[in-house]
Amino acid sequence: MKRLMKYLSDYKKESVLAPLFKLLEAFFELLVPLVVANIIDRGIPDEDMGYIGKMGLCLLVLAVVGLVSSITAQFFAAKAAVGFSTKLRQALFDHIQGLNFTNIDKVGTSTMITRMTSDINQVQSGVNMVLRLFLRSPIIVFGAMIMAFLIDVKCALIFVVAIPLLAVVVFGIMMWTMPLYKKVQAGLDKVLGITRENLTGVRVIRAFHKEAEEEEKFRAATGALADSQIFVGKISAVMNPVTYVIVNGAIIALIYTGALQVDVGNLSKGEVVAVISYMSQILVELVKLANLIITITKALACADRVAGVFEIQNEDAWAASAAAPGAGKPSEASGALLEAGKQAGVRNAASKGVSVPFLQFAHVSLTYAGAGAETLHDMNFTVNRGETVGVIGGTGSGKSSLVNLIPGFYPVTEGAVLLEGQDIRDMSEEALRNRIGVVPQKAVLFKGTIRSNLQWGKPDATEEEMWQAVETAQAREVVEGKDGGLDAKVAQNGKNFSGGQRQRLTIARALVRRPEILILDDSASALDYATDAKLREALKSAAGGTTTFIVSQRASSIRHADKIIVLDDGEIAGIGTHDELLKDCGVYQEIYYSQYSDERPKAEKAQKGGR
C-alpha cells in the first residue's frame, strides 16, 4: 500500500482535514456520557427543570456540532479517496499501455482488467474508511477508557482486560483473512477470463454446440469463487459476535461492580450510567473497527496486486534479452556493420559512405517467456531500403513472430535486429515505432469515426493524405459508401464493417503515416484475389522508398516480391525470388503447387498419378 500512497500526494489537505474533523466528532461524543451523568445526578434528584433543559440543550449542541464535523470529514475523505483512485487508475492504465507484448502475455488481459476495476475500487474503499475511522475508533476506545479511569479505577480495570481481548480477536482474524482475500481476487480473475473468452468466442461456441460444456465450466469457476468467498466471509463474520460477547460480558461486570460501588457510596448512579455508556461506545467503535479491518484487509490484498503490475517493467525483459547467452552478439560481419553505423551516424550512415544494410537480422533467435523451445532459430538475412519482402510458411512456422521482432514487440533471445546499423534495443520505442507501420493479423478499429481511426497513424494528417491512403488501400468505395465519408461512425471493434472492409481501413491507417517500414501481417486474408492484386499493385506504386514486409499464406500475394523468406518450423528454409525458390526450395514448391496444382511439372504429376 505504501508504494501507492504517492498518488494521494495531491490530496494532503483533505487527508489531514478528514481525520481531524473525525477527531473533533469523537471529542464531542466522549462528552455526552458526562452530560447525561450530570442530568441523572443533579437535575433529576433536585427536579431542577432549568438545569435539565440547559443540559439537554448542551446535548443538542454536541449532536449538531458532531454531525457537522462528521459530514465535513466524510466530504474530505470521499474527495481524497476518489481523487486517489482516479490518479491510480490512470497511472495503471498508462503503465499497462507501455508494457511490451511479453509482459502483457505474462500477466494476462483478464487479471489486468480486474486489477484496474475491482481491485482499485477496493483500494478506494480502504482509503476512504481509513481517513474516516482509523483514527476515530482508537481515539474513542482509549478516550472512553481514560474517562472511565477518571470516574472510577475499579470499574476501569474491566476496560483494561476487555480491550486487549478485543484487539487479539480483531487483529488475529485480520491476519488470517488477508491471504484468503488474495485468493478470492485470483478466483475473480479466473471467472473474468472465462467470461471474456466466452463473449469473444460466442460464435465458435454456438457453431460447435458447446454451450452446455462452457456453462458447466463457468459454473465450476463461479462455484469455486463462491466457496472461497463464503469461507473467508464466515471467518470475518465471527468477528462481530465474538466482540459482542466480550463487550457485553464486560458490561455485565461493570453493572455488577458499579452496583457494589454505588451501594458503598463510592459511585453515583449517573457515574455508573456514564461508565456503561463508555463501554457501549467502545462496543460500537470496535464493531466499526472490525468492519474497517475487514475492508483494510481487502484493500491491502488488492493494493498488493495493483502494485505488482507496476513492478513489471519493460527494462527487465530487455535486460534479460541482453543478458541471455549469445544475445546482442551478432556475427563478426554484423558486428562490424553495427560499429560502422555507430561511427558514421545511424540516420546518415549511407550518405557518409558506410555500407550498412537498411535492416539486418543477425543470427536472431526467439524463445517466448515460459516456452520450452525456440520459436525462431538463427534468422540471418539483410533487407535493403525500398525492397518488398514476402514471408511465407506453414501454420506455426513463425511468420508473425519474425515480423514482430522488427518493431521490438518481443525482445530477441539471441543475436540482434539492426536498423541502419543500430541495434533496435539501443533505440527508444517512440523513435523506432515512428518509423514503422504495422497492420496486424486481426483487423482492429476503435469506436469513433473513420477519420479518428486514420489519425491513429498520423494525428495531424491532412484530408488529402487520408484520401490518398484510403485510395492505396482500396478502401475508397468503403468510405464513400458510408454516410459522412471520413466522418462515418465506427462501432466498437468496427462491428459495422465487414472483415475485408476492416482490413482495408487498417492498411490505410498504417499508410497515412508514410512509414519507412510497412509490415502487413497476413492483413489481406479476407480480401478476394482481385482486390488483393489491386492492393499489391497500389502499394508497389505508392510505397516509394518504403520497405514492405508482406506475411501471407497465399503464394500469389508474395510471388512478385523482391525477396521471399520461406520459414519452416522456426527456421529459414529458403531465401530468394519466386523463380529461384521454385527451383531450389522444396518447402516453397510444396506451398506453391498446393495452391497452383495446374502448374505442377508434368513429371511430378505423372509420378503422383502413378501412385
Q: Using DSSP bridges, classify how beta strands 489-490 and 563-568 pair: parallel, antiparallel or unpaired.
A: unpaired
pLDDT in tens, 490-524: 988 888 888 888 888 988 988 888 888 999 888 77
In one letter, which amino acid is 230?
A: I
Positive/negative CA dihedral, 289, 295, 301, 302: negative
Left (φ > 0), alpha (ψ -120 to 50) or beta: where does 374 sit?
A: beta
Which residue, among 347, 386, 312, has the nearest Cα to 546 in the 3D structure?
386
Grid cell locating 22: 473525525
Cβ neighbourhood burial of 490 (10 Å; 0-12, 13-18, 19+): buried
Cβ neighbourhood burial of 46 (10 Å; 0-12, 13-18, 19+): exposed
Q: In which element (H, E) is residue 443 found? A: none
Q: What superfamily would CATH give domain 385-410+421-435+515-610?
A: P-loop containing nucleotide triphosphate hydrolases (3.40.50.300)
Is the distance from CB of 329 to CB of 411 less than 8 angstroms?
Answer: no
pLDDT computed for residue 383 by the predictor: 92
Examine the pLDDT at 426 and tell me if it is beyond 60: yes
| Band of residue 333 on the pLDDT scale cut at 50, 70, 90 | very low
In one letter, which amino acid is 127?
A: V
Examine the pLDDT at 319 and tell me if it is beyond 70: no
| Band of residue 609 on the pLDDT scale cut at 50, 70, 90 | low
Written in H, E and C, the secondary structure of 323-373 is HCCCECCCCHHHHHHHHHHHHHCCCCCHHHCCCCCCEEEEEEEECCCCCCC
Q: Which residues on neighbouring strands pair with residue 551, listed in sequence order?
A: 391, 521
Looking at the chain, the number of H-run helices and the number of E-run strands are 24, 12
Q: In which element (H, E) is residue 20 found? A: helix 12-38
Instruction: Return d(Cα 21, Cα 27) in angstroms, integer.
Output: 10
Task: Report domain extents, the chain.
Answer: 2-312, 385-410+421-435+515-610
Contact partners, residue 76, CB within 8 Å, separation at least 6:
13, 14, 15, 17, 18, 21, 131
pLDDT computed for residue 98 by the predictor: 81
Q: For residues 268-296, b (16+ Cβ closer than 10 Å) or e, as one string? A: bebbbbbbbbbbbbbbebbbbbbbbbbbb
What is the CATH number assigned to the segment(s) 2-312?
Answer: 1.20.1560.10
Which residue, among 384, 383, 429, 422, has the nearest Cα to 402 in the 3D structure?
383
Q: Using DSSP bridges, classify how beta strands 448-449 and 489-490 pair: parallel, antiparallel or unpaired.
A: antiparallel
| Band of residue 111 on the pLDDT scale cut at 50, 70, 90 | confident
pLDDT in tens, 161-215: 887 887 788 778 877 887 887 788 788 878 888 888 888 788 888 888 888 999 9
Angle between helices 153-200 and 269-310 (to 10 degrees): 30
Which residue, among 178, 138, 18, has the nearest Cα to 83 in the 3D structure?
18
Looking at every residue in the chain, the average pLDDT score rounds to 82
Nearest-Å Rg of the Cα atoms of the chain is 36
